Amino acid sequence: MSKKSRRKDTVITHAAMKPWDNQGIPNPPVYYASTVLFPTVEEFQTRDRTPFQGVQYGRSGTPTQFALEETVTALYEGSHKTVTFPSGIGAIAAATITFLQHGDHVLFSDSVYGPTRKRVGKNLLERAGVEITYYDPLIGGDIADLIQPNTKMIYMESPGSHTFEVQDVPAITAVARDRGILTVIDNTWSSAYFCNPFALGVDIVLEAGTKYLCGHSDAMLGTVTVSTEEQFQALKGMQNTLGSRSGPDEAFLALRGIRTLSVRMERHQINALKVAEWLDARPEVERVLYPALPSDPGHELWKRDHTGACGLFGVMLDKKFSKPAMCAMVDGLDLFGIGASWGGFESLAIPIAPAGSRTATPWPHENQMVRLHIGLEDPDDLIEDLEDGFGRLNAA
């Protein structure tokens, strides 16, 4: 692609394509490497040792990872560089531990993905002597009241992947910026396609690339995109210390997945909206938690900061339904698989219980909840499947 600035769909299809470096092949191939050879001792000894530039040693990455990283960076206008990790949680661990140390304080949204709290928060950061305060995801600019002299980072996830609360990200980043506090966001729900948090003032944006970037339920990957060279050097240094770079096969799969990101995201949105609207009108449903619905409390913020909505939302059943009734409904679904993760081509359904993982702001609802990922099937078939499910729910 020429240097001319192109629109997002064009960037998605052309970024990091270097066919004339790769025998005319459009997508960069999978380079496996540990060793990188030099023709002479002289060239080995005088090689470019600029940290993390070019192909130096397999642990730092090969042209396959670099092509993916270049592509993700290009998707986030205003960003500097991207580093890829073997999973989303690997990206979260690295993006936090790189910039926090013993004695620091970090603010985490109460709505973060469960393992962000349990694995990264508790097992990694607290063990390293970092103090964590969880904040109400709806806090907005009042987050200023929670800042301490040693607060070094605010970590957001918006919407949260269980409760779908939308945060006022610009209000939070304005508070952070005034005080020199780093902001990080998990942007997996919108992915680079539907939201650019850099335009909202965020410093570091991460994604579980396992979801929409890969998009086919067959690869694990995490991305961390930063806004300065200093952040890049620090993050890349930590990645090298942990020996935690993405594998070349996964990088290739993610890059291949990204080439169709625009059409998949648009279709997830169309299908999810149709199913969500249908569910919203059902008497068995108390609430559909999907910011794209005008009735959702986060709708206005979502409309302001995101250009679309992905296929993931929550369904809160009427209080009268028991857990066994909800299980009968979900167990019998034909087209929805029961399993963790989301962002792939296929539909999924799992029970969720957000109350157990809140500490700052209680989740007051006792209703049974199901989280649906709406895939690329015909939405009318999905609706028929769910309608049969309501039959089982009512009969249980």
Ligand X SMILES: Cc1ncc(COP(=O)(O)O)c(C=O)c1O
Closer to ligand X at the Cβ: 63 or 222?
A: 222
Question: Is residue 88 a contact point for ligand X (CB under 6 A)?
Answer: yes
In whole angstroms, the minimum distance from the beta carbon of 254 to ligand X comes to: 11
Return d(Cα 111, Cα 362) in angstroms, integer.
11
Cis peptide preceding 19, ω within 30 of 0: no
In whole angstroms, the minimum distance from the beta carbon of 309 to ligand X comes to: 15
In whole angstroms, the minimum distance from the beta carbon of 59 to ligand X comes to: 21
Site for ligand X (CB under 6 A): which residue of 11, 75, 132, 208?
Answer: 208
User: In whole angstroms, how far apart are CA 173 and each of 71, 302, 307?
Assistant: 25, 16, 19
H-type helices in the chain, by residue range? 8-14, 41-45, 63-75, 88-97, 114-115, 169-178, 191-194, 229-242, 248-258, 261-280, 299-305, 323-331, 379-395
24: region left, alpha or beta (phi > 0 left; psi from -120 to 50 alpha): left
Question: Is residue 113 a contact point for ligand X (CB under 6 A)?
Answer: yes
Strand, helix or coil for residue 5: coil
Return d(Cα 189, Cα 193) in angstroms, integer.
10
Q: Which of 32, 57, 59, 178 is catalytic?
A: 59
In whole angstroms, the minimum distance from the beta carbon of 199 to ligand X comes to: 20
Site for ligand X (CB under 6 A): which residue of 89, 120, 275, 382?
Answer: 89
CA-based torsion, 386, 345, 314, 278: positive or negative: negative
Structure tokens belonging to residue 167: 């945060």
Question: Is residue 225 a contact point for ligand X (CB under 6 A)?
Answer: no
- Residues 308-347 within binding reach of ligand X (CB under 6 A): 341
Question: Is residue 220 a contact point for ligand X (CB under 6 A)?
Answer: yes
Q: Is 385 a catalytic residue?
A: no
Question: Is residue 87 a contact point for ligand X (CB under 6 A)?
Answer: yes
Q: Is 113 a catalytic residue?
A: yes
Closer to ligand X at the Cβ: 63 or 160?
A: 160
Structure tokens belonging to residue 311: 């296929």
Give the range of 84-92, 145-153, 270-278, 383-391 binding ligand X by CB under 6 A.
84-92
Q: Which of 104, 110, 168, 186 is catalytic?
A: 186
Closer to ligand X at the Cβ: 307 or 341?
A: 341
Structure tokens belonging to residue 145: 């009241």
Interface with ligand X (CB under 6 A):
87-89, 113, 157, 161, 186, 188, 208, 210, 220, 222, 341
Residues catalogued as catalytic: 59, 113, 186, 211
